């Protein structure tokens, strides 16, 4: 991984943000039932979310699919959301789960991490299951950009691939963690290549050498809480419990949304 500028690394910016605002990553998932529950259209929902959290939480994770479902209108709004959050100092992790080969992966990297892109975010989620080397166009953007690699997810279909083993008996989920650790090996402080680890998985890969951030979806409505997070990754740097439904159900009242996020940050204060 080569540096592309003199900006602080994503790992450094993330550490500073979590110290200032807590470790919780707030999910932005504007699915239809939630829009109906809030009594709002997509644009008003997004504006309320930005008002509630811009400059007040460390990192926000827009689920790209829920914007993509609205076509060009959704993408235009997503561009505005990303820009507004980043201008406020809140980090943006685009949950796009992109993965492909060659020039296609390079185009994804430009879209989500490239300077000048209208979708440029601080970090993006990617899928390594076309081979870890296929992620090189994203990794080559440099440590100023965060990359979160799917490693051990909590969906029931995940183990079919993630628990398969290589010729040495190593699970593929562990191989992915080890590959990320190799990229982070020379980092000064927290590296910028992280993993996605479901907070509800029964057993985590060995994370001791990762030296990168850990995004942990599955907290709250999906059943995981501080005990599960502590068991899987407690004591490691850069752990980000990802919470969407259990915060967004407090809306559309802005004060209640902020209070819900603050409560989760209090619950996970041990991660700082």
CA distance 23 to 152: 20
115: tokens are 């300077």
Q: Residue 15 in contact with residue 238, Cβ under 8 Å? A: yes
CB atoms within 10 A of CB 13: 21
Of the candidates 58, 35, 57, 56, the residue with the CA atom closest to the CA atom of residue 248:
35
| DSSP per-residue string spanning 197-250 | E-TT-SSPPP-TT--S-EEE--BSTTSB-HHHHHHHHTTSTTEEEEESHHHHTT
Coil, strand or helix at 26: strand
152: tokens are 């051990």
Residues forming the active site: 97
């Amino acid at each position: 991984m080569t540096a592309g500028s003199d900006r602080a690394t994503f790992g450094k910016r993330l550490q500073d943000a979590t110290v200032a605002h807590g470790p919780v990553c707030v999910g932005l998932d504007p699915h239809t039932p939630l829009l109906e529950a809030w009594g709002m259209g997509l644009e008003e929902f997004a504006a309320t979310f930005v008002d509630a959290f811009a400059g007040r939480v460390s990192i926000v994770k827009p689920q790209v699919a829920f914007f993509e479902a609205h076509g060009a209108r959704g993408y235009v709004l997503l561009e505005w959301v990303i820009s507004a959050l980043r201008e406020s100092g809140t980090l943006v992790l685009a949950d796009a789960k992109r993965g492909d080969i060659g020039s296609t992966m390079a185009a994804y990297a430009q879209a989500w991490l490239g300077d000048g892109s209208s979708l440029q975010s601080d970090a993006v989620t990617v899928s390594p299951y076309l081979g870890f080397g296929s992620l090189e166009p994203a990794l080559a953007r440099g440590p100023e950009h965060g990359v979160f690699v799917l490693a051990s997810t909590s969906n029931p279909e995940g183990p079919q691939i993630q628990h398969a083993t290589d010729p040495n008996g190593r699970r593929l989920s562990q191989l992915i963690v080890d590959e990320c650790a190799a990229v982070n090996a020379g980092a000064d402080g927290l590296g910028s290549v992280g993993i996605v680890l479901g907070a509800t998985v029964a057993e985590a890969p060995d994370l001791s050498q990762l030296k990168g951030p850990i995004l942990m979806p599955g907290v709250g409505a999906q059943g995981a809480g501080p005990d599960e997070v502590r068991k899987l990754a407690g004591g490691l740097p850069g752990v980000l419990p990802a919470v969407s439904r259990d915060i967004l159900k407090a809306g559309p009242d802005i004060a209640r949304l902020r209070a819900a996020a603050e409560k989760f940050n209090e619950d996970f204060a041990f991660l700082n």
